[in-house]
Amino acid sequence: MTPQFRLDGKRALVTGAGRGIGRAVAEALAGAGAEVTLAARSAPELEAAVEHIRAAGGMAHALPLDVTDTAACRAALAGRPAFHVLVNNAGTNRPKPLAEVTEEDLDAVMRLNLHSVILLTREVTGRMLAEGVAGSVITMSSQMGHVGAANRTLYCASKWAIEGFTKALAVELGPQGIRVNTICPTFIETPMTAPFFEDPAFRADVLKKIKLGRLGQPSDITGAAIFLASDASALMTGSALMLDGGWTAD
């Protein structure tokens, strides 16, 4: 039988969904039939994204939320039915040499990229277990969760940790039918990465390492997200889906 890529009847939660990769993924999941809740700190961005999805005939809701606030996350999820899909997309980066890294840098990167992912995933999967939902957890990792790079000690540390967390949780939740995977993009052109690419030397160095010869776009991520959210990936858990343009091939 042809694998089913549709998400009709599924409820999905996407964090960092106001712009960039998160918004693109939320729009794609809605386009595949899911009822999508978009979470981010910026209410105006969320409302714009929700309006766009609804105008296209999709089902979407805005959830203004700081995912690093554990109590707020718990309160926001209280009373809601279990989600079938969680996309942990919110993240940040503070690239600099280790000698210049401050404790505030360490706290900011780890709290958003790792701490919040673990605790939100705990809340969402706990509800899945309580309601007997066989769901899918998708975390936006990175090619930097598989290799190293100068000036990215914090970012690499957070993403390597996410890869380990994903494998361990896949083992833990597999018997209950909850799948846990990551998507590992190369450099994607988004509002967060735009300032980095204003440096011609940095842009050229990045393009040299991407074998396909171009930067990624948010739309390059959406197919993978639909795949992992849907029954098309029913036998996939504990895996990292590489969308790195060949960066890690050598």
Catalytic residue among 83, 155, 165, 187: 155
Residue located via tokens 């890529």: 5
The DSSP call for residue 230 is: S
Concerning whether 155 is annotated as a catalytic residue, the answer is yes
How far, in Å, CA of 23 to CA of 89, rounded? 10
Q: Which helix (H) or strand (E) holds 208?
A: helix 200-209
Q: Which residues contact 83 (CB under 8 A, 6 or more apart)?
A: 11, 12, 13, 37, 124, 127, 128, 133, 135
The CA distance from 144 to 196, in Å, is 16
Supply the residues annotated as catalytic. 155
